[in-house]
Structure 1
């Protein structure tokens, strides 16, 4: 079943009298249980593509469906509700709330959804991401990598059906980066989620089912890199 479907989506921006085509007409889908990477140079349209799928921007043309439900075309209030319930965002900037402790960053999810706090699930993610000892710390007390791991825990805590990760390992060292990608891959497969990871680091694509390349707003399947298996990571690193 398709968890994400992009049908004829494009995005244009106006820069004074000039029109910029940031995303060319794109058709794309991700099945449940599928982990997809999008690679490409800076400024190629990767983040625009991801934020349109996540409903943070609306397409100029075309539409996005999440779990076969209209998403890009619904009213803002309904789209916000769907986004919060179905999508876990991991952004390059951690976007933590400065006055909340690590544990309270996750508790806030329950307050917004009016659900009971799930301590066992919080403990699970803090342990997996090696941030258990930070639960009472504030974002200002954390390193960039620690803040990013908290943001990942928060995104996964509410059990979204879709995970959208924009450079999720940018603040992490190599070892932590591989650990995070392994966690995302495992969560995708075991919980039947659909995950898109935008990354500039091709060492991290070994766990992905498909790899797409974005350049000048055009998205294409990279058939060569899609053939890579997890054990081929070293070969990618050596290129």
Structure 2
């Protein structure tokens, strides 16, 4: 059983009288413990694919399975619950709650999951070099600091699937490599299935497999 499986997925958008094939028929599987990179030019369909896998968009045709169970065909309410339980998102924008301190961002997750993991929070923040920022608000942080907090938060509730869309876009080279190493480490040690969309081909060395997206078509490198 694959952690992520896409069966004959397509995505079309209507633009006036024109139908745009944003994603051509795609079949792919990612196993637990596998770190996969998706590369390709801007506008090729990489982010569309990632949002479909994560249930933020529904495919025009086909089916997404997460941990062996149908995901894309479920109701929005069920998808939202599974999205929180099983998927960790790392987006280009950090998506932190602006009126919560760093510590409170994690406490919010604790309140929803009904469990406290302060040791895991401290480990993740320390690993990402932002442990001193726990009492700061997002507006008091640099773009790179906000992104590292967001990465820690995405890993915090121990999802089985990690979806990362340009996770290092706001980081310098050293921090970018550290983040990718952390994702690779978490993928292996915690048996996660991780997909990372990136334009930076220097970062794919840590990945097990590289896929290329070109004009909505996904191929193996």
TM-score relative to the length of structure 2: 0.99
Report the Cα distance in structure 2 between the residues aligned to 1:30 and 1:61, rounded to whole angstroms.
20
- 1:1-239 superposed matches below 5 A: 1-113=1-113, 115-222=114-221
Report the Cα distance in structure 1 between the residues aligned to 2:115 and 2:82, rounded to whole angstroms.
20
Q: CA RMSD in A?
A: 0.6
Mark the runs of 5 or more structure 1 residues left unpaired by the alignment: 223-239
TM-score relative to the length of structure 1: 0.92
Report the Cα distance in structure 2 between the residues aligned to 1:70 and 1:12, rounded to whole angstroms.
21
Deviation >2 Å, runs of 4+: none
Report the Cα distance in structure 2 between the residues aligned to 1:103 and 1:39, rounded to whole angstroms.
34
Q: Displacement, 1:179?
A: 0.2
Superimposed CA distance per residue, residues 36-94 of structure 1 (whole angstroms, 9 cap, x where no aligned partner): 00000000000000000000000000000000001000111101111000000000010
Q: Which structure is richer in relative contact order (CA contacts within 8 A, separation 6 or more)?
A: 2
Report the Cα distance in structure 2 between the residues aligned to 1:29 and 1:106, rounded to whole angstroms.
31
3-state SS of 1:148 partner: helix
Q: How many residues align?
A: 221
Q: Displacement, 1:18?
A: 1.1
